[in-house]
Structure 1
Amino acid sequence: MNHLKKGIRVIGFDDGPFKHRQKEDALLVGVMIRAKEYVDGVVSANIEVDGLDVTEKIISLVNRPKYINQVQVVFLNSIAFAGFNVADIQKINDETGRPVIAVVRKKPDTDKFRKAAAKLPDYERRLKIIERAGEVKIADVDGKTLYFQSAGITDEDAVMMLKKTRKRSAIPEAVRIAHIIASGIVDGESRGGA
């Protein structure tokens, strides 16, 4: 990853707001950005609240012919989407051939998450996905602390990518914009806090 060009293209995913305990879908948005400067594309899909389909949806969106040869890194706003729809970052890396970095601002409480997930069907499957994501690591991104899990990339290169792809906040610009778009579509206006 030390050969990064100024025009590297990354895609960042976030989900839109949703209602817990309701059997409806949530919006998943992916934004492809050239480094941290230009939006080159937007993709979207519906995912099940507390389902197990986000991994396949992300793989499908990244592997589209328009994007697969351009995207160099996949960013996720955590491994949890639409409640407990957990993204398998190892599988996404394996099936796209692209490094995957799941990033959050606050340190995840994995024990609390596991206890809550235990109440759902397919708990063992969800637990395996969480464990496959690996240890939560800490990154200092220009004086701001982020937490990340990654697949297909060294920790050092993951931190470098977090630094190279941020613009207005510590979070990668592709994830920040995906959050704005998803919340704007679902709520009728955007809100911050990716």
Structure 2
Amino acid sequence: MEEIDMTTPFADYLGGKMIDSNVDQPLTTWRDSVDGNGNGSLLKARGNATIRSEENREGVVKKLIIDEGEEYNLWIFDFKIKFRYESVTHGETWACVLNKCTFVNNDWDEVHPEGTVIATFNSVPSRNLELKLDVYVDPDSDDRPGKFIQERVASKFRDPIALATEDFTGLVIDRLVIQFHEPKYNEFTLK
């Protein structure tokens, strides 16, 4: 059995795939205040987010090459990587009468929330890889309407992170979790 430390190659590969990657949410209804007769209003929003940098990484990624007649690889993950994103969101009010909706005005033209996504990878030999994505918006960022970037846009970074990881390792990610956090000081630091 041979053990190879893959922490730096994996983190560099993932960073190379994620830096400047973009996710997008086209115009969608965020808040629906239309009654059963089709009268009322809709609050619609759209947004996109781009990862701009890697802030830090911690932990270890190991590849065990096992040769027992046939060679196979076993991956061990206990790793966390933090990315910084920038975003833009736009919101509109639409008035509806008898299920016909018309644009009324821009609630906000453009706001630019910023934040972090932290990808945590864990594995144990008896299971496939698990990925947990923690999504934060900076406390001084305006994430209109009510966590739109956090919940509908930045959370979409999960799939490109998962695909890049599967591409690098050949593993199938068994469990994907997204957690949203209130905008407050983020205590993830390297010790």
For normalisation by structure 1, the TM-score amounts to: 0.31
More strand by share: 2
For normalisation by structure 2, the TM-score amounts to: 0.31
Which of the two has higher C-alpha Rg? 2
More helix by share: 1
Whose relative contact order is higher, 1 or 2, with alpha carbons under 8 Å and at least 6 apart?
1
